[in-house]
Chains A and B, each alone.
Chain A
Amino acid sequence: MADEVKLHGVTGSPYVCRAVIALNLKEIKYEFVAEDLSNKSADLLKYNPVYKKVPVLVHNGNPISESLVIVEYIDEVWKGVPILPQDAYEKAQARFWAKFMDDKCFPAVFKAVSSHGEEQAVGEAHEAFQFLENELKVKGSKYFGGDNINLVDISATFVAFWVGAAEEALGIELLPKDKFPKLTEWSDNYVNCQAVKDSLPPRENIVAFFKKRFGKA
């Protein structure tokens, strides 16, 4: 029996993008259900009554919400390219850094962007980036996942792509290359991975979004 896989989302969301990358990495055929967040579909509200947000993965009628939960689910159900390490300790480390992206990194970046690069906010974003920079330095590898991308890289998609778009849109500097050489190099490598390239929205759309949402009139 063929699997029915749907992903409810919006193309501009870095969280939705995580799910798209995971689906593409595993070469899963799915239907993208584009949502209008100002007018959410009855299905979305039915599938994610708790948060009413995207992304929501619907697999044979069963809904899964929260991007990192979705990515782990995809990894467990579909074999092929592994997204999480096998070893229990390495898995725990991967989950730790993925959670760090959401708990520390994303809020700091959001504050830095919405404040138009206010000094303290950028300082906090740099603190978060420094942990990632150190992690890459210690690992000494191309990606957080080693030679291949893993859960951590996928969770950091917004750093690799959305941060640059925000910088361009608002004329601010968030991720200076001289301060974060490893993270910058990682960003360049990451966005050029095939599965990631296939999943990212057009850059000009994200730049336009940032200009509209945060740009000075």
Chain B
Amino acid sequence: MDDDVILLDFWVSVFGQRVRIALAEKGVHYENREENPQNKTPLLLEMNPVHKKIPVLIHQGKPVCESNIIVQYIDEAWHDKSPSLLPSDPYLRAQARFWADFVDKKVYESAKKIWMTEGEEDQQVAKKELIEVLKVLEGQLGEKPYLVGESFGLADIALIPFSMWFHTLNEIGKMNIERECPKLAAWVNRCMERESVSKTLPRPHKFYEFILEMQKKKGH
């Protein structure tokens, strides 16, 4: 029963989007509460005292934090609802966890650098680093429809929100991610055919506006 599910979120967060995609995949009804990172609610601070960050899933009053952990929790708590978000084979499950973790370790940091670094040289280094990381993911994708096994799952959910960043990265970084990583681009389109993804992710230009606004505030 989808009783009492609350998500503390922030619309632009890739981590929050992972959770929303997972909830949508399972058809779980929930209350979405938008947090303002500049003015965190007492509820957020109470539910995530360690990191004080979104997303936090509150299920029957109990908080679950850290997006990849929340996605696995959703899969397990609603295991009777399809689809499964992780493969059933333990080796493939390990691969799914490995790649979801890889996205956290590598994609987030290298992508952020592109709009955060100043100076031509530093930006070139950041661009090279990001393309290398994306090519590793392309390598994992290979000819498969999804990152691990034949089904959309944890690793895809971990990565797909970052596709919303591509337009921004292309503009600010003067790059063309889709041309450099065509298989990944095809995978993005494939994922976007899923309602859980297309209805969750904001339009790329909205994210671009958000970043420009952020840069303006910082006086770029």
Residues of chain A having any CB pair with chain B under 8 Å: 50, 59, 62, 64-66, 69-70, 72-73, 76-77, 88-89, 91-93, 95-96, 99-100, 104, 131
Q: Choose the segment among B10-18, B66-74, B169-177 that binds chain A (4+ C-beta atoms closer than 8 Å).
A: B66-74
Q: Are A131 and B98 in contact (CB under 8 A)?
A: no
Q: Are B76 and A91 in contact (CB under 8 A)?
A: yes
Chain A: minimal CB distance from B154 (Å): 12
Point out the residues of chain A lying under 8 angstroms from B94, CB to CB.
Answer: 64, 69-70, 72-73
Q: Choose the segment among B57-65, B159-167, B186-194, B201-209 that binds chain A (4+ C-beta atoms closer than 8 Å).
A: B57-65
> Which residues between 6 and 63 of chain B lie within 8 Å of chain A, taking CB atoms?
50, 59, 62
Point out the residues of chain B lying under 8 angstroms from A96, CB to CB.
Answer: 64-66, 69
Point out the residues of chain B lying under 8 angstroms from A95, CB to CB.
Answer: 66, 69, 72
The 10 A-B pairs of least Cβ separation, nearest first, read: A88-B76, A92-B73, A76-B90, A73-B94, A88-B77, A92-B64, A95-B69, A64-B94, A69-B97, A77-B90
Point out the residues of chain A lying under 8 angstroms from B66, CB to CB.
Answer: 95-96, 99
Smallest Cβ-Cβ distance to B77: which chain A residue: A88
Chain A: minimal CB distance from B67 (Å): 11
Interface size on B, residues (CB 8 A): 21
Cα(A96)–Cα(B66), bound, Å: 7
Point out the residues of chain A lying under 8 angstroms from B90, CB to CB.
Answer: 73, 76-77
Chain A: minimal CB distance from B85 (Å): 13
Q: Looking at the complex, which one of B50, B76, B91, B101 makes contact with A59 (CB distance below 8 Å)?
A: B91
Smallest Cβ-Cβ distance to B136: which chain A residue: A50
Chain A: minimal CB distance from B5 (Å): 13
Chain A: minimal CB distance from B103 (Å): 12
Smallest Cβ-Cβ distance to B73: which chain A residue: A92
Chain B: minimal CB distance from A74 (Å): 9
**B102 at interface, CB cutoff 8 A:** yes
Point out the residues of chain B lying under 8 angstroms from A91, CB to CB.
Answer: 72-73, 76
Smallest Cβ-Cβ distance to B89: which chain A residue: A76
**B93 at interface, CB cutoff 8 A:** yes
Point out the residues of chain B lying under 8 angstroms from A89, CB to CB.
Answer: 59, 62, 64, 73, 77
Point out the residues of chain B lying under 8 angstroms from A93, CB to CB.
Answer: 64
